[in-house]
Amino acid sequence: FNKILKVYFTPKAATTLLASNRALQLAEKFNIAAPPEIISETTYLFTYENKHLTVSLDTSNFIYTNATTSAKPSLEKDEATVANFKNLLINLGLLKEELAKGPTKLYRPDAQISQISIWPEGVENMPIITADSNKALVSATTLHSAKEISDILSLDYTFWPIDTKTFATYPSKNVTSAFDELKAGRGLVILSSDQARISITQIYLGFYQSKEYSPYLQPVYVFQGSGFIAIVPAITT
Contact 144, 206 (CB under 8 A): no
All residue ranges of the chain with pLDDT < 70 are 69-75
Going across the sheet that includes 51-56, the strands are 37-40, 43-48, 51-56, 62-66, 152-157, 138-143, 113-118, 104-107
Distance CA 230, CA 57 (A): 33
| pTM to 2 decimal places | 0.93
Query: How far is residue 184 from each of residues 95, 177, 202, measured CA to CA in Å?
Result: 40, 11, 19
In this structure, the dihedral spanned by the alpha carbons of residues 97, 103, 109 and 113, taken in order and rounded to 10 degrees, is: 20
Distance CA 143, CA 72 (A): 8
Q: What per-residue confidence (pLDDT) applies to 73?
A: 61
